[in-house]
Amino acid sequence: MNFKLLKPLGFILTFILVLNSCKTEQKQPRSIQRGKLADSIMVVSAREEASRIGAEILKQGGNAFDALIGVDMALNVAYPFAGSLGGGGFMVYRKANGEIGSIDYREKAPIAATHDMYLDENGDAIASLSREGALAVGVPGTIAGMFAIHEKLGSMPMAEILEPVIALAEKGYVVTENQWNRYRNYAAVFDSINGMETLYSVGFRESDSLKVKAGDTIKNPVLAATLRRIAQNGKSEFYEGETAQKLVNFMQKHGGIITLEDLKNYEAVWRRPIVSSYKNLKIIGMPPPSSGGVCLAQIFKMIEPYKLSTYGHNSLKSIQVITEAERRAYADRSFFLGDPDFNDIPIETLISTEYATERMENFSFKQATPSSEVEHGVIPGYESMETTHFSIVDQYGNAVALTTTLNGAYGSKLYADELGFFLNNEMDDFSVKPGVPNMFGLIGAAANKIEPQKRMLSSMTPTIVEKDGKLWMTVGTPGGSTIITSVLQTILNVADFEMGMQEAVDAPRFHHQWLPDVVTFEPNTFGKSLLDSLAAKGYQIRQENSVILGKVDGVLVLPDGTLEGGADRRGDDTAVGY
Ligand code: DON
User: What are the pLDDT digits (tens) for 332-350?
Assistant: 999 999 999 999 999 999 9
Does 126 have pLDDT greater than 80? yes
DSSP codes, 340-376:
TTT----HHHHTSHHHHHHHTTT-BTTB---GGG--P
Q: Is the CB of 130 under 6 A from ligand 1?
A: no
Amino acid 32: pLDDT: 95
Task: Measure 442 CA to ligand 1 centroid, in angstroms.
Answer: 11
Rounded alpha-carbon distances, angstroms, from residue 530 to 22, 317, 324, 363, 513: 31, 10, 17, 20, 20
State the pLDDT confidence band at 206, using cuts at 50, 70 and 90.
low
For ligand 1, whether the C-beta of 419 sits within 6 Å is no
Tell me what the mean pLDDT of segment 352-364 comes to: 98
Average pLDDT rounded to a whole number, residues 477-496:
97
CB 375 within 8 Å of CB 394: no
- β-pairing, 217-218 vs 463-467, is unpaired
What pLDDT, on a 0 to 100 scale, did the predictor assign at position 183?
Answer: 80
Average pLDDT over residues 535-559: 93
Asked if 399 and 64 count as a contact pair (C-beta separation under 8 A), the reply is yes
CB atoms within 10 A of CB 576: 22
- Dmax over Cα atoms in the chain, in whole Å? 107
Residue 548's pLDDT is: 82
Whether the pLDDT of residue 383 is over 70: the answer is no
Residue whose C-alpha is closest to residue 187's, from 438, 409, 386, 424: 409
Report how far residue 191's alpha carbon sits from residue 200's, in angstroms, rounded to the nearest whole number.
Answer: 9
**What are phi and psi for residue 476, nearest 5 degrees?**
175, 180
Whole-number percent of the chain with pLDDT over 70: 93
Q: How far apart are CA 65 and CA 60, in angstroms?
A: 13
> 521 CA distance to ligand 1 centroid (A)?
19
| Per-residue confidence band for 18, with pLDDT thresholds at 50, 70 and 90 | very low
Mean pLDDT of 98-113: 98
Q: Is 387 close to ligand 1, i.e. is its CB under 6 Å away?
A: yes
Q: Report d(CA 72, CA 148) in Å as an integer.
A: 14
What pLDDT is stored for residue 208 in this prediction? 41
From the alpha carbon of 550, which atom of ligand 1 is closest?
12
- The residue among 375 and 507 whose pLDDT is bigger is 507
The protein residue with its alpha carbon nearest to ligand 1, atom 1, reads 458
The predicted-structure confidence for 169-188, as pLDDT tens digits, reads as follows 999 999 999 988 888 778 78
Tell me what the mean pLDDT of segment 386-410 comes to: 95
Is the predicted pLDDT of residue 45 greater than 60, yes or no?
yes
386-393/42-45 β-pairing: antiparallel
Our mutation pick for probing the ligand 1 site, out of 79, 440, 482, 513, counting the most ligand atoms within 8 A of Cβ, is: 440
* 362 CA → ligand 1 middle, Å: 31
Q: Answer whether the bond into residue 164 is a cis peptide, omega within 30°.
A: no
Residues carrying an active site annotation: 387
**For position 202, what pLDDT does the model report?**
61
Q: Is pLDDT at 16 greater than 50 in this prediction?
A: no
Contact 386, 423 (CB under 8 A): no
Q: What is the pLDDT of residue 7?
A: 47
**Separation in Å, CA 97 to CA 91, 468, 469:** 18, 14, 11
Rounded to the nearest whole angstrom, what is the distance from the C-alpha of residue 548 to the centroid of ligand 1? 14
Ligand 1 centroid distance, CA of 430 (Å) = 12
Do residues 354 and 336 lie in contact, with contact meaning Cβ atoms separated by under 8 Å?
Answer: no
Q: For residue 204, what pLDDT band results from cuts at 50, 70 and 90?
A: low
- Please choose from 430, 460, 573 the residue to mutate so as to test ligand 1's pocket, defined by most ligand atoms within 8 A of CB: 460
For residue 449, the cross-strand partners are 431
CB of 460 within 6 A of ligand 1: the answer is yes
The model carries a pTM of 0.92
CA-to-CA distance for 459 and 205, rounded, in angstroms? 32
Q: Is the pLDDT of residue 14 over 80?
A: no
- Please report the pLDDT score of residue 205 as a whole number: 52
Other Cβ atoms within 10 Å of 558 Cβ, number:
14
Mutational test site, ligand 1, from 385, 432, 456, max ligand atoms within 8 Å of CB = 385
Query: CA 526, CA 201: separation in Å to the nearest integer?
Result: 39
Domains and CATH numbers, the chain: 50-270+391-448 (no CATH), 274-386+460-572 (3.60.20.40)
| CB under 8 A, 24+ apart: contacts of 527-530 | 530/314, 530/315, 530/316, 530/319
Please report which confidence band the pLDDT of residue 13 belongs to, taking 50, 70 and 90 as the band edges.
very low
- Which one, of 304, 441, 343, 450, lies nearest residue 385 by Cα? 441
Instruction: Give the residue, out of 407, 438, 482, 520, with the most ligand 1 atoms within 8 A of its beta carbon, to mutate for a pocket test.
Output: 407
List, as residue ranges, the binding site for L-glutamate.
106, 405-407, 429, 458-459, 480
DSSP conformational letter for 198? S
Q: What is the mean pLDDT of residues 451-477?
A: 98
**Residue 117 · residue 125 · CB < 8 Å:** no
C-alpha span between 496 and 302 (Å, rounded): 15
Backbone angles phi, psi at 444, to 5 degrees: -125, 180
Give the pLDDT confidence score for residue 15 in this predicted structure: 43
Ligand 1 atom closest to the CA of 459, numbered from 1? 3
Cα torsion 285, 288, 291, 295: sign:
positive
Peptide bond connecting 346 to the previous residue in cis, omega within 30 degrees of 0:
no
pLDDT for the residue 3:
40
Binding region:
106, 405-407, 429, 458-459, 480
Q: Residue 484 Cα, ligand 1 centroid: separation in angstroms?
A: 11
> Hey, which residues does 577 pair with through a beta bridge?
42
pLDDT digits (tens, 9 = 90+) for 423-444: 999 999 999 998 899 988 898 8
pLDDT of residue 27: 65
Considering only CA atoms, which residue is closest to atom 10 of ligand 1? 385
Nearest to 93 by CA among 268, 289, 284, 275: 284
| Cα radius of gyration rounded to whole Å, the chain | 25
Rounded Cα gap, residues 80 and 179, in angstroms: 10
Which atom from ligand 1 is nearest to the alpha carbon of 483? 9
Bin 365: left if φ > 0, else alpha if -120 < ψ < 50, else beta: alpha
| Spacing, Cα 138 to ligand 1 middle (Å) | 14
- Contact at 8 Å (CB) between 437 and 252? no
Write down the pLDDT at residue 544: 79
**CB distance 405 to ligand 1 below 6 Å:** yes
Count how many Cα atoms sit within 13 Å of the Cα of residue 400 in the half-sphere of its side chain: 30
Question: Mean of the pLDDT values across residues 355-371?
Answer: 97
* pLDDT value at 128 more than 70: yes
In this prediction, residue 96 carries a pLDDT of: 98
Task: Tell me if residue 84 falls in helix, strand or coil.
Answer: coil
463 neighbors 286 (Cβ within 8 angstroms) = yes
Which ligand 1 atom is at minimum distance from the Cα of 291? 3
pLDDT score at 22:
42
CA distance 86 to 82: 9
Q: What count of other Cβ atoms lies within 10 Å of the Cβ of residue 512?
A: 27
- Tell me which of 95 and 386 has the higher pLDDT: 95
pLDDT of res. 324: 98
Q: How far apart are CA 238 and CA 362, in angstroms?
A: 52
Q: Where are the beta strands (DSSP E) in 495-561?
A: 510-511, 519-521, 541-542, 553-557
Q: What is the mean pLDDT of the chain?
A: 92
